[in-house]
Chain A
Amino acid sequence: GDSVTQMEGPVTLSEEAFLTINCTYTATGYPSLFWYVQYPGEGLQLLLKATKADDKGSNKGFEATYRKETTSFHLEKGSVQVSDSAVYFCALSASGGSYIPTFGRGTSLIVHP
Protein backbone atom coordinates (compact mmCIF):
# COMPACT_ATOMS: atom_id res chain seq x y z
CA GLY A 1 0.00 0.00 0.00
CA ASP A 2 0.88 3.67 -0.09
CA SER A 3 3.28 4.94 2.55
CA VAL A 4 5.30 8.00 3.52
CA THR A 5 8.53 7.92 5.52
CA GLN A 6 9.89 11.03 7.17
CA MET A 7 13.05 11.61 9.12
CA GLU A 8 12.52 11.38 12.84
CA GLY A 9 12.76 14.49 14.93
CA PRO A 10 13.07 16.65 16.70
CA VAL A 11 15.22 18.73 14.42
CA THR A 12 16.84 21.51 16.43
CA LEU A 13 18.39 24.48 14.65
CA SER A 14 19.58 27.98 15.36
CA GLU A 15 17.86 30.91 13.69
CA GLU A 16 19.05 31.51 10.09
CA ALA A 17 20.30 27.93 9.69
CA PHE A 18 19.50 25.83 6.61
CA LEU A 19 16.72 23.29 6.97
CA THR A 20 16.20 19.95 5.27
CA ILE A 21 13.50 17.48 6.29
CA ASN A 22 13.65 14.26 4.31
CA CYS A 23 10.57 12.54 2.93
CA THR A 24 10.35 9.44 0.75
CA TYR A 25 7.25 7.68 -0.46
CA THR A 26 5.84 4.48 -1.90
CA ALA A 27 2.74 4.70 -4.05
CA THR A 28 0.95 3.17 -6.99
CA GLY A 29 0.17 5.38 -9.92
CA TYR A 30 1.19 9.02 -9.99
CA PRO A 31 0.63 10.63 -6.61
CA SER A 32 0.35 14.26 -5.67
CA LEU A 33 2.72 15.21 -2.84
CA PHE A 34 2.14 17.65 0.00
CA TRP A 35 3.80 19.23 2.99
CA TYR A 36 1.53 20.29 5.84
CA VAL A 37 2.56 22.28 8.92
CA GLN A 38 1.04 22.11 12.40
CA TYR A 39 1.71 24.99 14.79
CA PRO A 40 1.23 24.36 18.52
CA GLY A 41 -2.42 23.96 19.47
CA GLU A 42 -3.65 24.12 15.89
CA GLY A 43 -4.73 21.81 13.10
CA LEU A 44 -2.61 20.99 10.09
CA GLN A 45 -2.50 23.47 7.23
CA LEU A 46 -1.13 23.06 3.74
CA LEU A 47 2.36 24.49 3.28
CA LEU A 48 3.03 23.48 -0.32
CA LYS A 49 2.28 20.81 -2.88
CA ALA A 50 3.47 19.33 -6.18
CA THR A 51 1.34 17.29 -8.53
CA LYS A 52 3.77 15.84 -11.06
CA ALA A 53 7.39 14.83 -11.43
CA ASP A 54 9.97 17.66 -11.33
CA ASP A 55 7.40 20.15 -10.07
CA LYS A 56 8.65 22.42 -7.29
CA GLY A 57 6.22 23.55 -4.62
CA SER A 58 7.10 26.69 -2.68
CA ASN A 59 5.59 28.89 0.01
CA LYS A 60 6.89 31.17 2.79
CA GLY A 61 10.50 30.46 1.81
CA PHE A 62 10.01 26.69 1.94
CA GLU A 63 10.58 24.55 -1.16
CA ALA A 64 10.23 20.90 -2.12
CA THR A 65 10.83 19.21 -5.49
CA TYR A 66 8.93 16.12 -6.65
CA ARG A 67 11.66 13.59 -7.52
CA LYS A 68 10.12 10.54 -9.18
CA GLU A 69 13.44 8.79 -9.75
CA THR A 70 14.25 8.81 -6.04
CA THR A 71 10.61 8.83 -4.84
CA SER A 72 11.40 11.79 -2.62
CA PHE A 73 9.93 15.16 -1.69
CA HIS A 74 12.41 16.75 0.73
CA LEU A 75 11.46 20.03 2.40
CA GLU A 76 14.07 22.81 2.46
CA LYS A 77 14.38 26.38 3.68
CA GLY A 78 17.46 28.50 3.36
CA SER A 79 17.13 30.46 6.61
CA VAL A 80 14.76 29.36 9.36
CA GLN A 81 13.12 31.65 11.90
CA VAL A 82 11.90 31.00 15.42
CA SER A 83 8.36 31.29 14.08
CA ASP A 84 8.97 28.21 11.87
CA SER A 85 8.99 26.01 14.97
CA ALA A 86 6.21 23.50 14.31
CA VAL A 87 5.56 19.91 13.26
CA TYR A 88 5.88 19.21 9.52
CA PHE A 89 3.99 16.38 7.81
CA CYS A 90 4.73 14.93 4.40
CA ALA A 91 1.71 13.41 2.64
CA LEU A 92 0.65 11.87 -0.62
CA SER A 93 -2.58 11.29 -2.45
CA ALA A 94 -2.43 8.58 -5.06
CA SER A 95 -4.60 8.18 -8.12
CA GLY A 96 -6.41 4.94 -8.81
CA GLY A 97 -7.46 4.64 -5.20
CA SER A 98 -9.82 6.27 -2.81
CA TYR A 99 -8.17 9.72 -2.78
CA ILE A 100 -7.54 9.35 0.94
CA PRO A 101 -4.29 11.15 1.78
CA THR A 102 -1.52 9.15 3.43
CA PHE A 103 0.47 11.10 6.05
CA GLY A 104 3.94 10.56 7.44
CA ARG A 105 4.57 10.53 11.21
CA GLY A 106 5.56 14.18 11.30
CA THR A 107 8.88 15.86 12.10
CA SER A 108 9.13 18.37 14.90
CA LEU A 109 11.27 21.45 14.18
CA ILE A 110 12.59 23.60 17.02
CA VAL A 111 14.35 26.83 16.11
CA HIS A 112 16.34 28.65 18.80
CA PRO A 113 17.10 32.39 18.69
Chain B
Amino acid sequence: DAGVIQSPRHEVTEMGQEVTLRCKPISGHNSLFWYRQTMMRGLELLIYFNNNVPIDDSGMPEDRFSAKMPNASFSTLKIQPSEPRDSAVYFCASSQKQATNEKLFFGSGTQLSVL
Protein backbone atom coordinates (compact mmCIF):
# COMPACT_ATOMS: atom_id res chain seq x y z
CA ASP B 1 0.00 0.00 0.00
CA ALA B 2 1.69 3.18 -1.23
CA GLY B 3 -0.45 5.51 0.83
CA VAL B 4 -1.85 8.84 -0.34
CA ILE B 5 0.57 10.43 -2.78
CA GLN B 6 0.78 14.18 -3.22
CA SER B 7 2.86 16.22 -5.62
CA PRO B 8 4.79 18.38 -5.61
CA ARG B 9 6.19 18.31 -2.04
CA HIS B 10 7.23 21.94 -2.32
CA GLU B 11 6.05 24.69 -4.65
CA VAL B 12 7.38 28.22 -4.80
CA THR B 13 5.65 30.58 -7.17
CA GLU B 14 5.04 34.25 -7.74
CA MET B 15 1.84 36.09 -7.06
CA GLY B 16 -0.56 35.86 -9.98
CA GLN B 17 0.69 32.51 -11.24
CA GLU B 18 -1.47 29.41 -11.52
CA VAL B 19 -0.71 26.60 -9.10
CA THR B 20 -1.88 22.99 -9.44
CA LEU B 21 -1.58 20.51 -6.61
CA ARG B 22 -2.07 16.81 -7.27
CA CYS B 23 -3.28 13.88 -5.22
CA LYS B 24 -3.53 10.14 -5.75
CA PRO B 25 -5.71 8.54 -3.05
CA ILE B 26 -5.32 4.99 -1.79
CA SER B 27 -6.77 2.50 -4.23
CA GLY B 28 -10.30 1.48 -3.28
CA HIS B 29 -10.96 4.54 -1.15
CA ASN B 30 -14.20 6.32 -1.99
CA SER B 31 -13.83 9.59 -0.10
CA LEU B 32 -11.24 12.30 -0.69
CA PHE B 33 -10.57 15.47 1.28
CA TRP B 34 -8.45 18.56 0.64
CA TYR B 35 -7.23 20.45 3.74
CA ARG B 36 -5.14 23.58 4.23
CA GLN B 37 -2.94 24.03 7.31
CA THR B 38 -1.60 27.35 8.59
CA MET B 39 -0.34 28.49 11.97
CA MET B 40 -3.08 31.08 12.23
CA ARG B 41 -6.10 29.00 11.24
CA GLY B 42 -5.02 25.43 11.95
CA LEU B 43 -6.39 22.66 9.73
CA GLU B 44 -9.21 23.81 7.42
CA LEU B 45 -11.31 21.56 5.20
CA LEU B 46 -11.47 22.96 1.68
CA ILE B 47 -13.51 20.36 -0.18
CA TYR B 48 -14.78 16.80 0.19
CA PHE B 49 -15.49 14.30 -2.61
CA ASN B 50 -17.38 11.03 -2.36
CA ASN B 51 -17.29 8.64 -5.32
CA ASN B 52 -15.62 11.41 -7.35
CA VAL B 53 -18.51 13.83 -6.75
CA PRO B 54 -17.95 17.05 -4.76
CA ILE B 55 -20.17 16.84 -1.69
CA ASP B 56 -19.12 19.89 0.31
CA ASP B 57 -17.04 22.76 -1.07
CA SER B 58 -18.11 25.35 1.47
CA GLY B 59 -14.54 25.63 2.71
CA MET B 60 -13.12 26.75 -0.63
CA PRO B 61 -11.98 30.31 0.09
CA GLU B 62 -13.10 31.98 -3.12
CA ASP B 63 -13.43 31.56 -6.84
CA ARG B 64 -9.68 31.48 -7.27
CA PHE B 65 -9.73 27.95 -5.86
CA SER B 66 -11.10 24.99 -7.79
CA ALA B 67 -10.86 21.24 -7.33
CA LYS B 68 -11.58 18.31 -9.59
CA MET B 69 -11.69 14.57 -9.31
CA PRO B 70 -11.94 13.18 -12.85
CA ASN B 71 -11.61 9.58 -11.67
CA ALA B 72 -11.22 7.52 -8.52
CA SER B 73 -7.42 7.66 -8.58
CA PHE B 74 -6.68 11.33 -9.13
CA SER B 75 -7.63 14.77 -7.85
CA THR B 76 -6.32 18.28 -8.38
CA LEU B 77 -6.56 21.51 -6.45
CA LYS B 78 -5.93 24.61 -8.55
CA ILE B 79 -5.34 28.18 -7.45
CA GLN B 80 -5.58 30.81 -10.15
CA PRO B 81 -4.34 33.46 -9.64
CA SER B 82 -2.30 32.71 -6.56
CA GLU B 83 -1.77 35.27 -3.77
CA PRO B 84 0.75 35.43 -0.90
CA ARG B 85 -2.03 34.66 1.62
CA ASP B 86 -2.45 31.27 -0.05
CA SER B 87 0.90 30.20 1.36
CA ALA B 88 0.26 27.12 3.50
CA VAL B 89 0.64 23.36 3.61
CA TYR B 90 -2.08 21.63 1.58
CA PHE B 91 -3.00 18.08 2.53
CA CYS B 92 -4.99 15.50 0.66
CA ALA B 93 -6.61 12.67 2.62
CA SER B 94 -8.71 9.66 1.68
CA SER B 95 -10.91 7.18 3.49
CA GLN B 96 -12.41 3.88 2.50
CA LYS B 97 -16.05 4.76 2.87
CA GLN B 98 -18.51 7.19 4.36
CA ALA B 99 -18.85 6.13 7.96
CA THR B 100 -18.42 7.84 11.29
CA ASN B 101 -15.75 5.41 12.47
CA GLU B 102 -13.63 5.59 9.33
CA LYS B 103 -10.13 7.00 9.73
CA LEU B 104 -8.49 9.32 7.26
CA PHE B 105 -5.18 8.57 5.58
CA PHE B 106 -3.21 11.74 4.89
CA GLY B 107 -0.58 12.45 2.29
CA SER B 108 2.68 14.17 3.19
CA GLY B 109 1.37 17.52 2.00
CA THR B 110 2.45 20.22 -0.43
CA GLN B 111 4.25 23.21 1.07
CA LEU B 112 3.14 26.19 -1.05
CA SER B 113 4.94 29.51 -0.91
CA VAL B 114 3.54 32.40 -2.96
CA LEU B 115 5.96 35.30 -3.19
Given A43-B4, A49-B103, A95-B100, A103:B42 Cβ within 8 A: yes
Q: Say if the beta carbon of B55 comes within 8 Å of chain A.
A: yes
How far is B103's CA from A49's CA once the two chains are assembled, in angstroms?
Answer: 8
How far is B37's CA from A104's CA once the two chains are assembled, in angstroms?
Answer: 12
Q: Say if the beta carbon of B69 comes within 8 Å of chain A.
A: no
Chain A residues within an 8 Å CB radius of B91:
43-44
Interface size on A, residues (CB 8 A): 25
Residue among A42, A43, A89, A106 with max Cβ neighbours from chain B (10 Å): A43
Report the minimum CB–CB distance from B99 to chain A (whole Å).
7
Contact A43 B42 (CB under 8 A): no
Chain A residues within an 8 Å CB radius of B107:
43
Chain B residues within an 8 Å CB radius of A46:
103-104
Closest to A94 in B: B100
Q: Say if the beta carbon of A88 comes within 8 Å of chain B.
A: no
User: For this complex, into which size category does the number of interface residues on chain B fall?
Assistant: 20 to 34
Contact B104 A101 (CB under 8 A): yes
How far is B16's CA from A44's CA once the two chains are assembled, in angstroms?
Answer: 30
Closest to B104 in A: A101
Q: Say if the beta carbon of B102 comes within 8 Å of chain A.
A: yes
Residue among A93, A95, A101 with max Cβ neighbours from chain B (10 Å): A101
Q: Say if the beta carbon of A12 comes within 8 Å of chain B.
A: no
How far is B44's CA from A104's CA once the two chains are assembled, in angstroms?
Answer: 10
Report the minimum CB–CB distance from A41 to chain B (whole Å).
8
Q: Say if the beta carbon of A24 comes within 8 Å of chain B.
A: no
Closest to B89 in A: A43
How far is B114's CA from A85's CA once the two chains are assembled, in angstroms?
Answer: 29
* Residues of A bordering B, CB below 8 Å: 30-32, 34, 36, 41-46, 49, 51, 89, 93-95, 98-101, 103-106
14 contacts across the A-B interface (CB closer than 8 A) = A32-B100, A42-B108, A42-B109, A43-B106, A43-B107, A44-B43, A45-B105, A98-B56, A99-B99, A99-B100, A99-B102, A100-B45, A105-B42, A105-B43
